[in-house]
Structure 1
Amino acid sequence: MSNTHAGRVAVVTGAGRGIGRAIARLLGERGASLVLVDRVEPAETAELIGGDCVSVVADVSSDEDWGKIAKAAVDNFGRGDIVVNNAGILPLVHIDEMTIDDWRTVFKINLESHFLSAKHFIPLMRQNKWGRFVNISSNSIGVPQQGLSHYMASKMGVIGFVRGLANDLGGDGITVNAVLPSITNTPATAVVPDEFKREVWMQQAIKRFADPEDIAGPVVFLTSDDAAFMTGQAVVVDGGMYKIS
C-alpha cells in the first residue's frame, strides 16, 4: 500500500461506521495519523486502524466540541493537516410536516459543522502552508426524491461553501473540495427497500449500490499531494447516475 499520507494528521467525522470508517481506514493504510470523531466512541474503527489514532466523542454542530477536536490533534500529533467532514443526517420529512427545528438541525449538522471545522483547523494548516478539506455533499441534489428539501438545501450549501472557502485559501497551500456520493451500502441504508434500490441502480451506469470503499478512494485522493491543483470542485461519485450534457 502506498505511503502517500505519511506524516499527515487527518480528522474524519462520522468515523464510527459506514463511509467515515472506510475513509479513516484507508487514510490509516496510507500512513496518516487519525483523529476519529463520532457521537459515540468509534471503538471498532480504532481497533481496525490499530496504531496512530485517537478517538474524540463530539457533536460536530458544537463550536466548543470542534475546539476539543483541534486540541486532540495538536496534543496527540502536534498538527492538523486534513479534515474530512463526513458526519451528516438524512431525516425524511415532507415539507408539509417539517418544523423549523427539523430544518435548523439538518443545517447545523450537515453544513454549519463544516464552517466550524474551518474556523478551528485553518490556523493549524496555515502554520505548515499545507492543508486539505474534503466535505461530503450528496448526489441527491440532482435526484427527484421527495421529503429531502432540507437535506438537499444543506448539501447544495456544502458546494457553495467549498467554492467560497477554496477562493479564500488558494494562496495558503490549502485545498477545499466536495465529494458527492450516491446512496451507499451502510448501516443507515440497510432498511432501504429492495425496490427502491433497483430504481436507483437503473439510473446508474454501474448497476449496484456503492460500497463505502468506493467513496473512500476519491476522498483520500483529494487529501493527497496528487490533488494539489484541484480545489473548489464538486466530485460526483455515483456510478454514473449524473449524465454529461
Structure 2
Amino acid sequence: MTQTHEGKTAVVTGAAQGIGQAFAVALAERGARVVAVDLADCDETVQRIERLERVEGTNAVAIRADVSDPGAMPRILAAARAWGGADILVSNAAIQEFVPFEHMNFAQWRRIMSVNVDALFHLAQALLPDMRERGWGRIVAMSSNTFHLGMPGASHYVASKGAVQGFVRSLAGEVGVDGVTVNAIAPSLTRTPGTSGGPQDAQGQFEMAADRQAIKRTESPADLVGALAFLTSDAAAFVTGQTLLVDGGWAHA
C-alpha cells in the first residue's frame, strides 16, 4: 500500500489559504484532482497546483461558496462529478472568535456552529452517496486540540470542535461497510494568514502554545500534511472513527 492519490478527486474546503491551501496542494502533488472551495478566491491555490511538475493540464478547479449553505452543495457536487465524483472530502473551513460566555449571544453561537459543524453535515450528505456507490471514500474533518484542553472565551468554538469528533465517531460506524473511512485531525494553534496578526499574536498565544508542547515551536500548515496524506490513502484503510492529535505533543485524548 502507498500514499498515492492517483485517479482520486478531492474536495477541500477553506482552500484559499493556510491549512486548506496546504492540503489542496499536497493532495495534488500526490496525484489527486482537487476541487478547492472557499468563500474567498481560490485562484492562487489552483495556480500553485498547476505549477507543480507532476501536474499536466487542468487538475484543479476553484469554487467560491459558503459551505454552511446547503444551497451551495449542488455546485460542489457537480464540480466533483465532472471528474467522476468525490473520493476524498477534507472539511477544513472553520471560523473562530473570542467572546466571554456572559457576552455571547445566540447569533454568535449559531454562526460558529453553522460553519464548523453544519457545513460538515451538508458536505458529507452531498458527497457520501458517490463514495458508497464506488466502495471507496475518505472523509477527514478538522477538529482542534482545544476540545481536549478547553479554551476560556471560546466556548462556542470548542463545542463545535467537540461536535466534529462526535460526528466522526458515529458516521464511521455507518459507512465502514462501504469502504469509506471518517476521521478527524486536531492541531495545535497553527500560524496561518488567518491567525497571524490577530488576538493570538496580541496575547502571546503562539509562544504559550509552543512552550506547552513537547515540540517547542509554532505549528505550521506543513506539519499537518503528512497526517492528511495518510488518512486519505489506502495505507489508512483500517483507520476510522479516530481523531489524530497533531499538536506537538500538547494534548492527550
Cα shift at 1:194: 7.0
- Residue 218 of structure 2 aligns to a residue whose secondary structure is coil
Query: Residue by residue, what CA displacement relative to the aligned partner does 1:93-112 show, whole Å, maximum 9, x if unpaired?
Result: 11011110000111110001
**Which residue does 2:66 correspond to in 1?**
59
The answer on whether the counterparts of 1:3 and 1:31 sit within 8 Å (CA) in structure 2 is no
Match 1:234 to one of 229, 234, 243? 243
Percent sequence identity over matched residues? 44
CA distance in 2, matches of 1:236, 1:87: 18
Alpha-carbon spacing, 1:148–1:42, altered in 2? closer, same or farther (3 Å): same
**Which residue does 1:8 correspond to in 2?**
8
Cα shift at 1:221: 1.0
Number of residue pairs matched by the alignment: 242
Cα shift at 1:142: 2.3
The residue type equivalent to 2:68 in the other structure is S
CA distance in 1, matches of 2:150, 2:69: 32
Match 1:169 to one of 165, 168, 175? 175
Give ranges in structure 2 of 5+ residues lacking alignment.
51-57
CA distance in 2, matches of 1:159, 1:3: 24
**Which residue does 2:53 correspond to in 1?**
none
CA distance in 1, matches of 2:250, 2:202: 19
Cα shift at 1:150: 0.3
Alpha-carbon spacing, 1:31–1:3, altered in 2? closer, same or farther (3 Å): farther
Match 2:220 to one of 189, 196, 211? 211
The answer on whether the counterparts of 1:162 and 1:233 sit within 8 Å (CA) in structure 2 is yes
- The runs of at least 4 aligned residues of structure 1 exceeding 3 Å deviation read none
Give ranges in structure 1 of 5+ residues lacking alignment.
none
Matched, 1:112 2:121: no
Query: Residue by residue, what CA displacement relative to the aligned partner does 1:17-57 show, whole Å, maximum 9, x if unpaired?
Result: 00000000100000000000000221111100014001111
CA distance in 2, matches of 1:26, 1:185: 18
Cα shift at 1:213: 0.9
Listed as ranges, the matches of 1:1-245 within 5 Å are 4-50=4-50, 51-75=58-82, 77-191=83-197, 192-193=201-202, 195-243=204-252
CA distance in 2, matches of 1:55, 1:199: 36
The answer on whether the counterparts of 2:95 and 2:116 sit within 8 Å (CA) in structure 1 is yes
The answer on whether the counterparts of 1:60 and 1:66 sit within 8 Å (CA) in structure 2 is yes
Alpha-carbon spacing, 1:7–1:47, altered in 2? closer, same or farther (3 Å): same
Query: What's the TM-score, normalizing by structure 1?
Result: 0.95
| Cα RMSD, aligned residues only | 1.3
